[in-house]
Every structure is written in C-alpha cells, then in structure tokens.
A and B are shown apart, each in its own frame.
Chain A
Amino acid sequence: MVCAGIDAGSRAIKVALMDSKGGKMLGSGVADQGVEQEALARRLFEDVLARAGIARNRVSRIVATGYGRNNVGFADTTITEITCHAVGVRHLVPDAMTIIEIGGQDSKLIRLNSRGAVQDFAMNDRCAAGTGCFLEMVARRLGISLSDLGQLAARSTKAAAISSMCAVFAETEIVGLLASGTAPEDIVAGVMTAVASRVAAMAGRTILPPVVFTGGVALIPRMAEALASVLKHPVSLSPEPQLTGAVGAAILASRK
C-alpha cells in the first residue's frame, strides 16, 4: 500500500510517497508554488507517481499539509504542518526532541515528548524577520542567489549587527550598511545571526537536545551553524529538510 503526503508551502510544493508498511520513501518531488495551487500540486503528484512507476490507484490515502493544504482538493484530509513536521523529522531522526523549521513565510519551534508527540510549539509569522523570504530579500539586495548566501557568509570575519526585527526596516539597514562600505559577507553573516536570534527568542531558555533543523531554509549552508551558535546547542540538519512535512503527512496518511 502506498500513502502520499503533499506539503503545499508558501514558496514550494513538496510531495512524498511512502510505503505504508515499511515506512520507506518510494518517491518525492519539489516544485515552485504559484497561483494555480491545486493544479500545481496535482501535476507534481502525478509527476512523482510516474517517476516512481506507481499507478494512481495504488495510493490508498493522501494527506495535505502546509499553508495551502485546503487548496489540495484531491487529498483525503488535512493535518497541520506542525504535526506533520514532528512526525516526519522523528521518522528520519528518531531521537529528535526539538525541531526548528524555517520555511518561506514562517518559522517554528516544536518540542516533542519522549514518545515523539508534539509537546508544544511556537511560531513566528507576524513578520518576515526569521523566515525564508527575509533571506530572499537579502540575497536580492546583494544580487546573489539564495543558495550562495552560505558560501558568502563563510567568508565573513566580523558579522554586521542587524538590529531591525522588521524585514522592511532591515532592508533599509542593509542599504545603509552597503553604503558605508560593509562587506557583503559580513552583512549576510549578520542577517543569519538575526534570523537565528529570532528563532532563539521563540525557544525561550528550554532547549532539549537533540535539536534538528528542517524546512527549506535548512538547505542554505551556514544557517545551521548560525542557529547552533545563538542557541548554544549543537544543531543537526534533518535529512531531506525540504521534504519532512510531506514525509510526515504521508506517514500520517498510512496511520488511519
């Protein structure tokens, strides 16, 4: 039996197919999010099925998650991304106790109990600081690609202080730093520290290790290091960080 998880995020749609017995991933795919959310999700789903050589009628259940979950009309049910990331990360990293997930439009901190169920969670979503689109803005400002941010940050010797917690004001601040001759690598390093501080504020003082970092922003090199240095805890990268929500959704689809 095959179960599917569809994570319709703000920036990307992710699909995972899981073998409901062995919990093995049978196929996966990622596509950019757009206007026609349902059609995009369906196309990606069919594409992933075709590549995995699995007929549509072998998929017994589909769970949709992510902010666009209610637009995935062909899903059997929806479950929030908080529960899905918890299940997905715990499947890939069985001893995870704290999950940091940074996506396109929000960041989450999820604490698990010893059974792997959600103990509590905090979300930052009232402003862009501490999210993927904040980093996108910075990359755009500096004229580089999102994936090059990490390499650039690695060259930094002195991270710039970014004090604005509002993405709009932070952009103004970055323009000012560039004008005053601050090196782009120091700006990027400063921005990463600012994003990490935002997440640390959600965590409060209670961080239970192991800490696992997931979500699309985890694909950006150096972000995990920035988080670890602010949290003062080792932070490991989840395998398949962009897919943990979809994996969790697929596993939850097989449980019912």
Chain B
Amino acid sequence: MSQCCGKPPVEPKPTDPCKPPEPAVCGGSPAAAGAAECPLTYFRRMIPNCLAYAKAARQQGRPIVGIMCEYAPRELIMAAGGVPVCLCGGANETIPAAEEILPSTLCPLIKSTFGYHVLKSNPFLEMADLVVAETTCDGKKKMFELMAESRPTYTLELPQKENDADARAHWAAEIRKFKRELEIRFGRPITHEALRKAIAVMNRERRLRRELAALMKASPPPLTGRELLDFKSSISGIPEDYEQYEKALRMLREKRPCPSLASRVRVLLTGVPLVHGAERVLDIIEGHGGLVVCQENCTGLKPILEDVELNGGDPLDALAEKYYRIPCSVHTANERRMESLRNLAREYQAQCVLELIWQACLTYDIESHRVKRLAEQELGLPYLRIETDYSPSDSARIAVRVEALCETVRQR
C-alpha cells in the first residue's frame, strides 16, 4: 500500500518496518497499535470527508464559498460563517468538455476546473453559494467571466508589484471590499472578534501542515512526498482534520524512518501546484529514484510558510500583509520566491531542483528560466524542468528524465 521502500521484485518480509500492512506513516509506531485509524487512511478519504462536512455545514445554513487561489483569504470566508472550498480541477476527463469553449492552449488546471463547471460534475462547485474569481493569471480571469454567466462570482484582484506601497494598499482595499461583499451577500457582519478567531484557526492549520512538512527535513524522513501531499484537504477548518494532523505528528515523530528512503535522491519540487487528482508527476518522481522532500508550490509550503501576524493590530491589515507576501508568479519580480527557494533547498538538503510547469502556464513557464539559473549557478544543484498537462501520454518520457536526473545527482 505504501510507496515507501517500494522495490517491486523484492517480496516484503512480514517484519520489514518499511512494508507495514498499513500506510508507512502508521507503521513501526507503538502509538499505532490499537489506534482506531491511521491519519493517512483518514486523509485518503479526503473528498468524501469534505463532502460530508460541506453538506452538514450547508444544512446548518452556512454558505459554501469556492476558491481557486491561495490568495483568497479563507479567514474572511470563515468569519462570515462560510466554508472555503478549493475548486481547482485535477481531472483530465473534464478537459474535453472545457475545450468546447476554452482554447486548447490553456493550462490544464483552468480547463479541468471549467470542465467541471460545464458538466456540473464537481459537487463542491454545485453547492457553492459564491465563487471567488481571483485574478491569479489572465487565463483564470477570463475563464471566470464565462463562469460568471451562470454562477455567482466575485472578482478578487491580486496585487502584481512586489514591495510596492501602492500595490500593497490596493490589495488591502481589495480585502476590505471582499469583506463587504461577503457581509452583504450572506447578510451578517464580520466582526473583528470572528475574524480573529478565524485567523487563529487558519494559523493553527498552517502550523500543523508546516510541522508535517518539516518532518521531511530528516534523512531519511518518516514518510514520502506523496504521503505528505495526501495530508492536504480541499476544505480548510475541519476540526477532525486538525485532530488527525496532531495524531499524525505524534506517530511520525516516534516512527523509525524507512532506511530504503535514504538512497533516494532528495528533490525540491517547485512550480505549479499538484491539485487533487493531478499528482501524476510526483508519483513518477517517487517511482523512479526520487523523493520529494519539499514542495515549493501552492499545494506545498508556499502559502503556509508564514502566518497572519495579529499583534493586536487591525486584523484586515494583518490579512492583507500575509497574503501580499505569497511568492506567486503573478508577482513581479517575485524575488521572494527566489529567496524562499534558497532557504528551502538548504533546510531540506535538496540534491536537485525539479520544476513542474503546466502547459500554457505562462508566468511560471517564463519564471522557470530564473529558477534554473538560481539552481544551477547559485545553489549548484542539477535542475530539471518538466512541462506537461493532465494527460498520461508522456509519463514514460517524464520517467526517463527523472531517472537521468537521479543518475546525474549520483554521479556527482
């Protein structure tokens, strides 16, 4: 079941700590004995869990608010009594329906999401009382215009200039406008107290996920990159998730690391996010000699490295500050991403940098040139760029590149 220590020709011995009957995170831990359920097993049911949570919330009259970008301040949605749900599509199957309307030369994430919209097949989108239309890129911005023809959407304009007082002020104004929109639409004021509470909840979520990610700093770590990714939930603020995070942290800290993971090449994965259903490239990396020890992207550490710092100030301004600092490629010149990559490569002892680009993701694609330079010239690490979409047609060819990258690292 676990990918940990997975060399297919070798039959696992019953006592092999790397081949427990349960997922790797549950094995070799005394705490696991007699425990009701392994946290990873729980998170493997993430979609049904989220669906049950969203349905129950809706019955209690709580609005469901769809988001597609880590810039959307979930705290405001929660303070408005709503449930923030990630709508990013990770399915190849919905893309043909999207391409009847959208250009085929658009990133698969946008097309997949829009395909769900056309087919009405994403239950979270169908439940959504509002979709936040973040202007993360031109593709999303224009796609949301079409979605807005049949669904309630609200445009949230992202800042573009880094370290710029006017851009920062405009972003703060956008957050205040979004707050008013939520208050009017859902008919209840967002109090500072509710906002502070929501900030505390989201800070806790970020801290828990950060601590789980930090376990990958160990060599070898107690889990694989894929297992870590599976700890991501589409809905934020589910209390049961937090209990499972804490349980996972306790178990993983006691667990003996898998010795076979020690021979894997430590990969810093950067670039576009691997949303639920689109984990293929990560699986290829970990199936061909690599171990993704760190994800510098929106499904990894990028949005959770920093918390909302309240310090008794205006919570809206604290929100604006936190989200303004996310190093997204929509930013120019996005120096903060380079700084983050420098730090993460060091902290996680990366042996190479692998950048994933969804086809037609212009901003990450162009920025990849700088990441390559940073990796090769400044960090002295081999760099590999993989450009693909959600179709599995090039899996074998991606595997060759990953294997060659691992061979290159080992030859050094």
Contacts and interface: CB of A to CB of B under 8 A. Distances in A.
B376 interface: yes
B404 A82 contact: yes
Interface stretch (A120-128, A217-225, A236-244): A120-128
Contacts of A125: 394, 397
Interface string A109-129: 000000001111101011000
Contacts of A121: 401, 404, 408
A75 B17 CA distance: 30
Interface string A88-108: 000000000000000000100
Contacts of B400: 67, 80-82, 123
Given A106-B397, A125-B397, A118 B411 contact: yes
A120 B412 CA distance: 12
Interface in B360-384: 376, 382-384
Given A120-B382, A120-B383, A123-B401, A82 B394 contact: no
A120 B372 CA distance: 11
B394 A80 contact: no
B162 interface: no
Nearest to A82: B404
A82 B407 contact: yes
Contacts, number: 43
A79 B397 CA distance: 14
A179 B408 CA distance: 48
A83 interface: yes
Contacts of B165: none
Contacts of B376: 120
Binding site secondary structure of chain B: helix
Q: Chain B: interface residue count, which band?
A: 10 to 19
A119 B382 CA distance: 7
Given A120-B382, A120-B383, A67 B407 contact: no
B279 interface: no
A83 B411 CA distance: 10
Contact of A117 (B384, B394, B403, B411): B411
B383 A67 contact: no
Interface string B388-404: 00000010110011011
Contacts of A126: 387, 394, 397
A123 B384 CA distance: 11
A83 B397 contact: no
Interface string B97-136: 0000000000000000000000000000000000000000
Contacts of A117: 408, 411-412
Q: Kindly state the interface size class of chain A when it binds its partner.
A: 10 to 19
A119 B376 CA distance: 9
Contacts of B401: 82, 121, 123
A118 B404 CA distance: 9
Contacts of A80: 400, 403-404, 407
B63 to A, nearest CB: 43
Contact of A83 (B382, B394, B404, B412): B404
B396 A83 contact: no
Contacts of A67: 396, 400
Given A79-B407, A80-B407, A82-B407, A123 B412 contact: no
A121 B401 CA distance: 9
Nearest to B400: A80
Contacts of B383: 120
Interface string A184-199: 0000000000000000
A195 B376 CA distance: 28
Contacts of B396: 67
Nearest to B376: A120
A125 B412 CA distance: 26
A99 B411 CA distance: 18
Output the residue of B382, B387, B396, B400 with the most chain A CB within 10 A. Answer: B400
B138 to A, nearest CB: 23
Interface string B62-79: 000000000000000000
Contacts of B407: 79-80, 82-83, 118
Residue among A79, A106, A118 with the most chain B CB within 10 A? A118
A102 to B, nearest CB: 15
Contacts of B412: 117
Contacts of B403: 80
A79 B396 CA distance: 14
Nearest to A79: B407
Interface string B28-43: 0000000000000000
Contacts of B384: 120
Contacts of A120: 376, 382-384, 408
Nearest to B407: A83
B60 to A, nearest CB: 49
Q: Which 8 A-B residue pairs are closest in the complex by CB-CB distance?
A: A82-B404, A80-B404, A117-B411, A83-B407, A118-B408, A80-B403, A125-B397, A80-B400
15 contacts: A67-B396, A80-B400, A82-B400, A82-B401, A82-B407, A118-B407, A118-B408, A118-B411, A120-B382, A120-B384, A120-B408, A121-B404, A121-B408, A125-B394, A126-B387
Given A83-B408, A120-B408, 15 more contacts: A80-B400, A80-B407, A81-B400, A81-B404, A82-B400, A82-B407, A83-B407, A83-B411, A117-B412, A118-B411, A119-B408, A121-B404, A121-B408, A125-B394, A126-B394
